[in-house]
Chain A
């Protein structure tokens, strides 16, 4: 899985950092998304998908080898 984000449209709500803190954080300046691990390990995939689905601006795109990409 590869994680891609569009920081310019991020609303800094922090759902991703709440749901998958090992993969997402929020920047100190304006709270927008920071990806900690762009190729997260298998055991985090489920929470990463949940984080992408809960993003209110749909700025998280996942490229997955095994399942179709989420994030739309």
Chain B
């Protein structure tokens, strides 16, 4: 076993926020699996096997002996709190609402939300912060549709969500808003119990309401909110930040509609909002000629795996929105693979070209090196994105 080295939670290189730390590349080259110490704000520092090769990450994540193992705080109804048959049962209640076809049907709704956000950016004028006016409202409003949040409540819902999920706020302020959010979610669930709406939460109540408690239903609502909000807001923001620094590639997204789907996959591969996936082995798991031992914690580095050359021979450290679609593990793999990924793709496919077409001369209002990236957060992003046009 290699001596334990410390790898920052995000595993991102200082001064080069989109790239993995050198230690992750070294671990990837090493035939021997490495054990590392990961400082985690949620779990305290913990020791873990770090998995960095594409094939290893894929195989390990697909192995049913790999469990969430209390990697996240327990919440009834949240899929990340379950494993095995319990997880499958709960997930199956939700999957019909997140199919590729359903995402296509949601396109007009997403276009409306995106147009409204663009109007706000235009109203604010040059200097506008895209994180606040574009990247955050889009997923929040899409989630409002999924949960059935009434129009009258949406402004307050957006404000509350933004504060509760903004980790730069004090823990006290965050907790206060989180409690308000929970109370609001309980109210939504009660409303759906009485009259199930025509949306995801309403459908779950209508079809499975007798099998779920109110707190499980509220937990499902909270999961949809948190999982669908922070990840997409941050992927949008970091994708825009990246493209503004690669104007030739931005032009492809802006001017070539047929290139957008491929460009979104490349951005997903490169940006990686959920940088690492923390898990635990509930049995011995073979990895090539080695073993992750029962009870060991595991950290799968999606950031490193997405740049693993494998047999492709491509330079995967470079962003290239025109490259043939590359495999990536940004949505994870195996039983916990992102439930909302087709919806996420659709939001990105609509939002990015719409932004660059509304503002063809869009550019950063600050020097690129002044951008404040969230390299140490569990979800990678950029705190503010002031732009001009």
- Residues in A lying within 8 Å of B, measured CB to CB: 11-14, 17-18, 21, 25-32, 53-54, 56-58
Interface majority SS (helix, strand, loop, mixed), chain A: loop
Count of B interface residues, CB-CB < 8 Å:
22
- Least distance between A56 CB and chain B CB atoms (Å): 5
Whether B342 pairs with A18 at a CB distance below 8 angstroms is yes
- Interface hub of A11, A26, A54 (most chain B Cβ within 10 A): A11
Residues of B contacting A28 with CB < 8 Å? Answer: 96
Given A56-B333, A57-B62; A14-B96 close (CB under 8 Å): no
B341 at the interface (CB under 8 A from A): yes
Residues of B contacting A32 with CB < 8 Å? Answer: 95
For B89-104 the 0/1 string (1 means CB < 8 A from A) is 0011001111111000
- Interface hub of B100, B101, B337 (most chain A Cβ within 10 A): B100
For B314-346 the 0/1 string (1 means CB < 8 A from A) is 000000000000010001111101100110010
Within 8 A of A (CB), among B50-88: 61-62
Whether B95 pairs with A56 at a CB distance below 8 angstroms is no
Given A14-B342, A57-B62; A31-B337 close (CB under 8 Å): no
Smallest CB-CB separation from B88: which chain A residue? A11
Whether A31 pairs with B335 at a CB distance below 8 angstroms is no
Smallest CB-CB separation from B339: which chain A residue? A13
Distance of A9 Cα from B332 Cα, bound (Å): 17
Whether A54 pairs with B327 at a CB distance below 8 angstroms is yes
| Number of A-B residue pairs at CB separation under 8 A | 58
Whether B101 pairs with A13 at a CB distance below 8 angstroms is no
Q: Which of A12, A25, A53 contacts B95 (CB 8 A)?
A: A12
Whether A26 pairs with B100 at a CB distance below 8 angstroms is yes
Residues of A contacting B331 with CB < 8 Å? Answer: 13
Residues of B contacting A25 with CB < 8 Å? Answer: 101
Distance of A67 Cα from B335 Cα, bound (Å): 29
Whether B62 pairs with A17 at a CB distance below 8 angstroms is no
For B329-365 the 0/1 string (1 means CB < 8 A from A) is 0011111011001100100000000000000000000
- Least distance between A28 CB and chain B CB atoms (Å): 6
Q: Which of B100, B101, B337 contacts A11 (CB 8 A)?
A: B337
Q: Which of A11, A17, A26, A53 contacts B335 (CB 8 A)?
A: A11
- Interface hub of B95, B327, B331, B342 (most chain A Cβ within 10 A): B95
- Least distance between A31 CB and chain B CB atoms (Å): 3
Residues of A contacting B61 with CB < 8 Å? Answer: 56
Distance of A58 Cα from B62 Cα, bound (Å): 9
Whether A26 pairs with B99 at a CB distance below 8 angstroms is yes
- Least distance between B357 CB and chain A CB atoms (Å): 24
Residues of B contacting A27 with CB < 8 Å? Answer: 96
Smallest CB-CB separation from B96: which chain A residue? A31
- Interface hub of A17, A31, A54 (most chain B Cβ within 10 A): A31
Distance of A46 Cα from B181 Cα, bound (Å): 47
Within 8 A of A (CB), among B295-331: 327, 331
Smallest CB-CB separation from B338: which chain A residue? A13
Distance of A13 Cα from B335 Cα, bound (Å): 9
Residues of B contacting A11 with CB < 8 Å? Answer: 91, 95, 334-335, 337
Distance of A25 Cα from B100 Cα, bound (Å): 8
Whether B62 pairs with A56 at a CB distance below 8 angstroms is yes
- Least distance between B222 CB and chain A CB atoms (Å): 21
Distance of A54 Cα from B332 Cα, bound (Å): 11
Whether A14 pairs with B334 at a CB distance below 8 angstroms is no
Residues of A contacting B97 with CB < 8 Å? Answer: 31
